[in-house]
Structure 1
Amino acid sequence: MAKGELYRMGREVRRQLMGDAFVERMNSSVYDDPIMEGFSEYAAEAVFGMLWTRPGLDMKTRALICVVSDTATGAWPELALHLRMARRQGWTEEELAEALLHLSGYIGLPPVREALIVAKQVFAEMRAEEKA
């Protein structure tokens, strides 16, 4: 299938959200076979190209929505990605931790505890990357 404008825009948004180095790591480890390559192309077009570029919300708010959604649904690998995106969009570690704690009154402590464990790991990785 020909890759159109939404695909191109989606690839740009993905790089903006995750950073060049992280995108390259994902491309060479997760999306390095035909099955996952197809998923990556679809996500670039349908999610990053269509959803993330819509008017009405800024990227910072969209990133926080993803963090909340992942926590509520127990999508831990996605939460790690979206926490990274949220940090890159300007949310602080403290703000994200507080948002997660706030969720405990609505979705319960077990998923929030798990989300905070994921956040602890992601934030440590990002701090280490900044030092390198």
Structure 2
Amino acid sequence: MNLLTGNALSAVCLGLLGSLTFASLEAVGNERHARGVEVMDHLSGGAGQPVLEALREDYPFLADGITRYALGDVWGRSGLDDRTRQLAVVAAFAAQGNLPYMKVHAGYALRLGVTRDELKEVVYLTTVTAGFPRAIDAAQALREVPDPVAP
């Protein structure tokens, strides 16, 4: 089998990408980053995300990936409204037993209009999907989530 050399591979890539340049790739990346920051500001009410910012210090590439992909590409989609998206994520993190992230997103959910009673129903539903121990842990974690501060 004949493998392409570096120059041949570059030529093939250039042929496939056409006029797509590194500058245009950077612009797309910047757009995704800006959309991710906008999503984070919306979720947190402008308070930012301290864990993400701390991560940025030691792992900027990981923080950028989260901002661009998770927030910009996935969370930035319009297929679900904010309430539905937050309820789904709280349910997923509760079922996984990922309580720190569940608490963060429960806080976002409350700030975006989800009620505590709705979150309790999600926790109760966790008994079916992940068992009573996970639901009990999620219930205890939910008690630690403060009510959002009114703007």
Determine the C-alpha separation between the residues in 2 that align with 1:46 and 1:32: 15
Q: Greater helix share, 1 or 2? A: 1
Matching residue within 8, 12, 23 for 2:34: 8
Q: What is the RMSD of the two structures over their aligned residues, measured on CA atoms? A: 2.1
* 1:1-132 pair list within 5 angstroms: 2=26, 3-21=29-47, 23=48, 25-26=50-51, 30-31=54-55, 33-35=57-59, 37-123=60-146, 126=147, 130=149
| TM-score normalized with structure 2 length | 0.72
Give the ranges of 4+ consecutive aligned residues of structure 1 lying more than 6 Å apart after TM superposition.
none
Instruction: Give the structure, 1 or 2, with the largest relative contact order (CA under 8 Å, sep 6 or more).
Output: 1
**5+ long unaligned stretches in structure 1:** none
**5+ long unaligned stretches in structure 2:** 1-24
| TM-score normalized with structure 1 length | 0.81
Higher Cα Rg: structure 1 or 2?
2
Determine the C-alpha separation between the residues in 1 that align with 2:141 and 2:75: 23
Report the identity percentage.
26
Determine the C-alpha separation between the residues in 2 that align with 1:24 and 1:103: 26
Determine the C-alpha separation between the residues in 2 that align with 1:89 and 1:60: 7
Q: In the comparison of the two structures, how many residue pairs are matched?
A: 124
